[in-house]
Amino acid sequence: MPAKAKSAPKKADASLRLYRSLRRIRRVEEEIARLYPSDKIKSPVHLSIGQEGIAVGVCDALEKRDAVSGTYRGHATYLAKGGSLNAMMAELYGKDTGCARGKGGSMHLIDMSAKVLGTSAVVGTTVPVAVGYALAQKRLKTGAVVACFLGDGATEEGCFAESLNFAALHKLPVVFVCENNGFAIHEPLSKRWATDRLCARVATYGIPAKRFADSDTVAIRRHVEKVLPKMRKGGGPIFIECLTWRWREHVGPGEDYDAGFRSKAMLAKWQKKDPVAKAAKALSAKQRVAVDAEIEAEIAAAIAFAEASPFPASEELGTDVYA
């Protein structure tokens, strides 16, 4: 049952929508970082701050029926695709109202009602799962596609190569999105890759591959939107490599520039490309103020929801081990 094609949005609407999504994700994660020292959040967090433009650009081009598969650094993907903010915040608090009922945590976010597939703490593991979900979309003829987010580290896993080959062989509807922030935990690409020609590697599978050196939200959105009609008709997967920068530390709320493995000058360089600030420029001050106020109210309500929600009853330990 093919869904109705989305009517082309007016440019002004799109600018507002992109800003809202970007700003919302940024502010959610800043609030998480603010709350983190209070020990109310009971889950290690891998913040996407600085990288939000990729998730927002890709997800804005998707339809409701399309799925996303994210990584353990997945708050942005989850929120950009429409995952429930209340359920995410409650999950971070370990509450029964969390998206995984307190059994997943920040690294295992899921919201199937918004077609956000569950994320994994084992790098690369979700890539073939996303491909299998796409195989089912093709077999079931839903016309839906899957956007499969992965980090630069995941491209080193064997299952990444296996997944590309299978997706290309069966012409599966997958948008592979590599968020290349240059580091696997603390190890730079120079210590992990023989060459940085990732797109060339991927292209040998017969998958069109494109690099976005600045990860401009609008450019990514435009590219994905352009390829989707063909992909829905069996055109096969595409790959995009989006260079980006993780502003904060690998895990936790702080920064890691004092550790000496990456420079603050690079942060400054990337902050000039800040996707949130860039999107803000497309709006009037009045528009921004209104959107920001809405976002703050929504986040405050989500935190209040998480704090007021009950923990799971101890009997819940044994439920859902089996379906």
Partner 1 sequence: MSTPKLSWPGRIEDGRRVLKYVDALSEAVALEMARDKNVFLFGLDVDDHKAIQGSTRGLLNRFGPERVFTTPLSEDAMTGVAIGAAMAGMRPIHVHIRMDFLMLCMNQLVNIAAKARYMYGGQIKVPLVVRTIIGKSWGQGAQHSQGLHSMFMHVPGLKVCAPSNAHDAKGALIAAIRDDNPVVFVEHRLLYSTEAFVTEAPYVVAPGRARVCRFGRDVTIVGVSNMVVEALRAADLLKEAGVAAEVIDPIWLAPLDSDTIVESVRRTRKLVIVDNGWSMCGAGAEIAARVAESCAGEGPLQIQRLGFAPTPCPPSPPLEAAFYPNPATIAAAAYKLARPDAPAWVPDAAKAELAYQLQFKGPF
Binding site for partner 1 (CB under 8 A): 98-104, 108, 110-112, 117-118, 120, 122, 125-137, 139-140, 158-159, 162-163, 165-166, 169, 319-323
Rounded CA separation 67/272 (Å): 31
At its nearest, how many Å lie between partner 1 and the CB of residue 97? 10
At its nearest, how many Å lie between partner 1 and the CB of residue 155? 13
Q: Give the pairing of strands 187-188 and 183-184.
A: antiparallel
Q: Distance between terminal CA atoms of the chain?
A: 28
Q: Which is nearer to partner 1, 38 or 314 (CB)?
A: 314
Element (H, E) at 238: strand 238-243
At its nearest, how many Å lie between partner 1 and the CB of residue 25? 21
Element (H, E) at 174: strand 174-180
CB 133 within 8 A of CB 168: no
At its nearest, how many Å lie between partner 1 and the CB of residue 126? 8
At its nearest, how many Å lie between partner 1 and the CB of residue 94? 12
Residue-level length of the chain: 323
Q: Which is nearer to partner 1, 101 or 273 (CB)?
A: 101
CB 247 within 8 A of CB 267: yes
Q: Which is nearer to partner 1, 53 or 124 (CB)?
A: 124
Rounded CA separation 131/147 (Å): 9
| Residue 234 falls in which region: left (phi positive, over 0), alpha (psi -120 to 50) or beta | left
Q: Which is nearer to partner 1, 14 or 159 (CB)?
A: 159
Q: Which is nearer to partner 1, 140 or 277 (CB)?
A: 140
